[in-house]
A and B are shown apart, each in its own frame.
Chain A
Amino acid sequence: MANEKIKYSNGCSPQELDSTSARWYQDSDVGTKLSGSANVSMGSGTLTYQSSKEITSAESALSSKDFVFVRNISGSDVKISLDNGSNYLVLLSAGESFASELDSSVAAVIISTDGTSTVEYLSGT
């Protein structure tokens, strides 16, 4: 295959509990739902997908990528390093996903866990 693209979107809806704790409303500081999307071309047209996989330690399958998607399907919290395992900065609790384009300076994305987790991930180069 060639000319692969990845269309991705991230959206969030901040909510605020009313003073009687009866109902959640759209957050009064933000006042709107937020979302953005892009259709990005992969440099060399390669997609690597790992379907549901149980991990108990660092998973270093993602190197030199233009895009990364990681989902914590179930289990313990998952942590993501964008600097080859030196610092884990991003947290994914069960059910949560992370998707972003990566700068070419990122040597490797490492996925690890605080226990046992089932993850899936996609990377594009």
Chain B
Amino acid sequence: MAQDRRVIMRTSVLPTARTAYAAVPGSLEEYDISKATYNKNAVSSSIGRLGGNSTLTDIAATQWSDSWTSMMSEFAYWETLTDSTDVSGNRWEDVEEPWDGILSLSTSGVPLADDTNDLKFCYIKNFGNNTVRISLDSDSTYPLQLSSGASTMFRGYSSNLKINEVYVKTASGTSTIEYLIAK
């Protein structure tokens, strides 16, 4: 059992706009260094970089199950996996977490967990090539989405968001995610 747990969070946003650059003339003795007119995305001068600061949030020292993270610790031994609770336990036949840390998804919504505690913190990263959608109301609507490689994280407000209300699926095809979902 952990003494205490916390999560350091960091978000960074960089808005860019397509900017036209003038042609660059010139040459050296051995080769041409000129450039034709070109376009490149540059940081929006009116907005700049947003976020970037780190903040701390507390989560419960004792989580609802070892399945609060999709990862399996490299320090976990087979003999210590003694929670035989059906579905949410940590024995191989009971576990709901993927053993390699990666959860495969299809276009059918699946809950990340079946625990009913208030959600304190959730992090999801899309490892696949297809867009992943996230529901916060038990598979009813999917307001959040993640492009390939993207991640998002959020904390539940008051008692309005429960752990078992977070569902994930793909917009099309299949994908994979890693996640944390904590009380």
Using a CB–CB distance below 8 Å, which chain A residues touch chain B?
A: 1-19, 21, 24, 27-32, 34-38, 40, 47, 49, 69, 71, 77, 79-80, 82-83, 87-93, 95-103, 105-106, 120, 122, 124
Find out whether the CB atom of B17 lies under 8 angstroms from the CB atom of A4.
yes
User: How many contacting A-B pairs (Cβ < 8 A)?
Assistant: 226
- Find out whether the CB atom of A16 lies under 8 angstroms from the CB atom of B68: no
Please report which residues of chain B, range 10-63, place their CB below 8 angstroms from some CB of chain A when the two chains form the complex: 10-18, 39, 41, 44, 46-47, 50-51, 53, 55, 57, 59, 61, 63
How many chain B residues touch the partner (CB < 8 A)? 66
Say yes or no: B10 contacts A91, CB within 8 Å.
Answer: no
Asked if A38 contacts B71 (CB within 8 A), the reply is no
Give 20 CB contacts A-B under 8 Å.
A8-B12, A12-B8, A12-B153, A14-B5, A17-B61, A30-B71, A34-B178, A34-B180, A36-B125, A38-B146, A71-B11, A96-B9, A97-B9, A97-B53, A99-B11, A99-B152, A101-B144, A101-B152, A103-B142, A105-B141
- Within 8 Å by CB of B180, from A9, A14, A37, lies A14
Find chain A residues with CB under 8 A from B81 CB: none
**C-alpha spacing A93/B46, complex, angstroms:** 26
Distance from B136 Cβ to chain A, minimum over Cβ atoms (Å): 5
Is the pair A29, B145 in contact by a Cβ cutoff of 8 Å? no
A69 touches B13 (CB 8 A): yes
Check A32–B12 contact: CB distance below 8 A. no
Task: Show the binding face of B for A, using Cβ within 8 Å.
Answer: 2-18, 39, 41, 44, 46-47, 50-51, 53, 55, 57, 59, 61, 63, 66, 68-69, 71, 73-75, 121, 123, 125-126, 133, 136-137, 141-158, 160-161, 178, 180
Q: Are A99 and B13 closer than 8 Å at their CB atoms?
A: yes
Besides A36-B146, A71-B51, 9 other A-B contacts (C-beta < 8 A): A10-B152, A11-B151, A12-B153, A13-B8, A27-B69, A29-B73, A88-B160, A97-B51, A97-B53
* Interface SS of B by simple majority: strand
Contact A103 B133 (CB under 8 A): yes
Q: How far is the CA of A111 from the CA of B51 in the complex (A)?
A: 17
- Alpha-carbon separation in the docked complex, A92 to B154 (Å): 8
CB distance from A72 to the nearest CB of B (A): 10
Chain B residues within an 8 Å CB radius of A15: 5-8
Residue of A nearest to B126 (CB): A36
